[in-house]
Chain A
């Protein structure tokens, strides 16, 4: 088995936990960041055998990676192996010229900014601390530091967000000319503080917001972006030698390649095994201080499951999915029916969702799988 070429590193620290967030995060903890980075590096050392000599991508996610104390962050970045694409997630209010320089000198070549919205009232609903101006300043700082691959995260379907608000948010984002945009519908996950506060309101708005996904796709594709994954868009010039601005780290997930995840709550999938590290900071740090792998939740991914995941993930992409190897996972009758309904197109060797099919990707995929 060849080594894994994709590395995820989880930096859980945040200044504040936003109401809608269900990631593994830890608020504050100044003084503990160094010990956590030690633990990350220790886990990396323990699992180094799984990695290929040459990495394609590294992704530092969070939490708010750029909220990590500067010394600790820089030490981590310097210790990571080189890779062709190194992405760091950042909250706009944390991005200063100094931080941009720090990232730049440590081989980070892609920054993903959690903008979410440019509308102050909506940002308040989300409990985000950055303003629209912060986003613009952050992009400026990154551009000035030479970054030529910036992603903006946007959220739509925020309680109180009208269609015109959405259009303005998208227009604001486009004026910043990001190379990449991730646009998610707000997911009010059960059990979160947010759902408790806004769930009923969201249900009332559900029908009005149903067309927002279409609006997002229309507005971004009209601006020349490629809708290459259900929720992801990248700039596409159309020229043959243009850069491929898709998020290559995430493509690894969608194309079913192996990845190693470091840090609390981080998930790895290597061969037929998937595991999730303990989400508990103290447990994680203590284990690695003793030089042993942290507590993990293990899952076996058998061949059937792997193929089902490949269909589920692969159909999120705009490029057709090769049918070879998917035998038995697809329901032929459903395939014919969905093709007839204009939701799926396929030929002898590949299958893909049509534009309309992509808006209904969940239901279409559920139908297609045996």
Chain B
């Protein structure tokens, strides 16, 4: 295809602002999918994504509109996948920015819109859901126009649901978005913007060809990873896989690699041919690192092998997922797993429980820390239990948080951010009513209950997004929890020294509520090193008997006892103390303890 007739674009929208519905409508209008075959929201292939209204994995669909080849490249909608979003955007020349006519812009929309602008994409602003009675298309249009430095008249008004205005949008995509600018005669280079794993065909890479031509049966090389393979098939999605003889500069499609491991082919890497290949890779490849960590333990320790197999399977499709075996004295065998962010963690957990039918205990999440040890070496620590008692310096990851909130709640948001060691960065009015605030915050202050607090303090009106800005030194200490004198590794936490006392006290108070009374007094202590900073006691039970037991009710009493036994088996043994699994999540429930 002549590059002048190719347009590559993404749709940027907040969850529920109608991205998937718009994609469906485009497929239908361009006859890529007949109305009869239309499974609503074709692009979201996983049930889970469908349910959560999130698209996890980017894919690309080719459609034809008035003789032009349009490639719609799907982007993940959440900050955890910022890097993937940026790669998807790099594969495009333009982006359709969708804003809900009733809701206006949200933090997530902003984050991705800025990302698109940074990537020099042509933005086609759209106000969606104009058919809704509560819609304010003009208000939303001026807000979007303000945001991207455009005029409100230039903002399209559509209803993805009814299809109203969508043909105009397709025309606008052809008119406004620039043609691809690669060199069809240069050595072949393609950007990998996504990959997925097929049980029978191995890793499938989704690529945007920048220069040159790719053909099936060619030997290819991923330039950053050095991975070599033969292209078993190349083609495009329409949305079914359609093999072709060539993908040329400007086009978007897939390459079936036959590779067995997604980690050999990373998003952002550049594909080239082995013979006559390019000398320089495309810019921007980053090795994404997990920032949020949590322990994953099977509730029933017999399920450990199943959990290991399930993680292996998930990893096939999720190069960002990290895990390594972890042994906890309290929780037994499990895995310390790393995630791009909180949503990524939540998705992995749900998939493990839902698709693999596992019953999991996920410990409170923590962030990655960099520790300068006494021997002068820096080490990354993924778990509080792993934090050395003595070290010279410690660094924690920071984010730039972006919060959009009605102006009446600015005070509450500032208060929350100050409580969380936030550093004010910037404030601007998006409209007379809505304020955009940015703060620099330690990620560790966000991973537990920040989002819940933000929502509750703003009556649900705040929207929030964040982006990593790097590691910074912190005054951090490790608080250990001892139950009946035994340190419980799974309950340790790393925290700013100033908060240690209050958090420690709140934690032992919470644990006192969660640990049932035992047959002896149980001391619960929080300590920094050898110094105890808080203590509570769970008083011993004074009676625990089945009142009477005669011939007529032996069976019933036996069953009661067996149930009691089962209840005990669900507990985790810490020394002689039976601790319910929920107690290991106590740290998640002490948000209010910190003033």
Residues on A close to B: CB < 8 A?
A: 8, 23, 182, 184-185, 187, 210-211, 213-214, 230-231, 250, 252-254, 259, 261, 265-267, 269, 274, 276, 299, 305, 308-309, 312-313, 316, 337-338, 340-341, 343, 358-367, 369
Interface readout for B540-553 with A: 1 if CB under 8 Å, 0 if not? 01111111111111
The answer to whether B547 and A360 have CB atoms under 8 Å apart is no
B391 adjacent to chain A (CB < 8 Å): no
Do B541 and A312 touch (CB < 8 A)? Answer: no
Q: How far is the CA of A210 from the CA of B557 in the complex (A)?
A: 21
B interface residues (Cβ-Cβ under 8 A, vs A): 519-520, 541-555, 557-558, 561, 564-565, 568, 576
Q: Are B543 and A360 in contact (CB under 8 A)?
A: yes
Identify the 6 closest CB pairs spanning chains A and B, nearest first: A363-B544, A366-B564, A213-B543, A366-B565, A362-B544, A253-B551
Docked pose: A211 CA to B541 CA in angstroms: 10
> What residues of B have a CB within 8 angstroms of the CB of A266 in the complex?
552
Closest Cβ–Cβ distance, residue A211 to chain B (whole Å): 6
A330 to chain B, nearest CB (A): 13
Cβ–Cβ contact B542 & A362, under 8 A: no
- Given the known interface contacts A305-B558, A313-B549, A341-B576, the answer about A363 and B542 at a Cβ–Cβ threshold of 8 Å is no
Q: Name the distance in Å between A18's Cβ and chain B's nearest Cβ.
A: 15
Assembly CA distance A337 to B574 (angstroms) = 12
Complex interface: chain A residues within 8 A of B542 (CB): 210-211, 213-214, 359
Given A337-B576, A363-B519, A366-B564, CB of A214 within 8 Å of CB of B551: no
CB–CB A316/B558 < 8 A? no
**Within the complex, which residue of A250, A299, A361 is in contact with B555, where a contact is CB–CB below 8 Å?**
A299
Contacts of A308 in B (CB 8 A): 558
**B568 engages A367 (CB within 8 Å):** yes
- B554 partner residues in chain A, CB cutoff 8 A: 253, 267, 269, 274, 309, 313
Return chain A residues, CB-CB under 8 Å to B564: 362-363, 366
Known: A8-B552, A214-B542. 16 other contacts (CB 8 A): A185-B545, A231-B545, A252-B551, A253-B549, A253-B550, A261-B551, A308-B558, A312-B549, A312-B561, A360-B519, A360-B543, A361-B546, A362-B545, A362-B546, A362-B561, A367-B568
Q: Are B541 and A360 in contact (CB under 8 A)?
A: yes
Assess the B543–A214 pair: CB atoms within 8 A: yes
Pair B548/A312 contact, Cβ less than 8 Å: no
Report whether A267 and B551 are in contact in the complex, using a CB–CB cutoff of 8 Å.
yes
- A360 vs B520: C-alpha distance when bound (angstroms): 10
A363 touches B547 (CB 8 A): no
Contacts of A369 in B (CB 8 A): 561, 565
- Inter-chain CA distance A254–B564, complex, in Å, is 20
* Inter-chain contact A210/B551, CB cutoff 8 Å: no
User: Could you tell me if A184 and B543 are in contact, using CB atoms closer than 8 angstroms?
Assistant: no
A250 to B551 Cα, complex, angstroms: 8
B551 engages A8 (CB within 8 Å): yes
Closest to B567 in A: A366
B547: which A residues are within 8 A, CB to CB? 184-185, 187, 230-231
Chain A residues, Cβ within 8 Å of B552: 8, 23, 261, 265-267, 276
Interchain nearest-CB distance for B397 vs A (Å): 43
> Within the complex, which residue of A305, A309, A341 is in contact with B519, where a contact is CB–CB below 8 Å?
A341
Could you tell me the distance in whole angstroms from the C-beta of A24 to the nearest C-beta in chain B?
9
Cβ–Cβ < 8 Å partners of A253 in chain B: 549-551, 554
Chain A neighbourhood of B520, CB < 8 A: 341
**From A266, A309, A358, A362, residue with most partner B Cβ within 10 Å:** A362
Q: Is A360 a contact of B551 with CB atoms below 8 Å?
A: no
Q: Which residues from B are CB-within-8-Å of A276?
A: 552
Q: How far is the CB of B155 from chain A (nearest CB, A)?
A: 60
With a cutoff of 8 Å between Cβ atoms, the chain B residues found around residue A267 in the complex are 551-555
User: Hey, which chain B residues are within 8 Å of A299, CB to CB?
Assistant: 555
Known interface pairs A308-B558, A366-B561, A366-B565; A213-B545 also in contact (CB < 8 Å): yes
Cross-chain contact B551 with A316 (CB below 8 angstroms): no
Closest to A341 in B: B520
Contact, CB under 8 Å: A364 / B519: yes
Contact yes or no, A366 B568, CB < 8 A: yes
Q: Per a CB cutoff under 8 Å, which of B541, B549, B565 touches A316?
A: B549
Measured between C-beta atoms, what is the minimum distance from A367 to chain B in Å?
7
Q: List 28 A-B contacts (CB under 8 A).
A: A8-B551, A23-B552, A182-B548, A185-B545, A185-B547, A210-B542, A210-B543, A231-B547, A253-B549, A254-B549, A265-B552, A269-B551, A274-B554, A341-B519, A341-B576, A343-B519, A359-B543, A359-B544, A360-B541, A360-B543, A361-B544, A361-B545, A363-B544, A363-B564, A364-B519, A366-B564, A366-B565, A369-B565
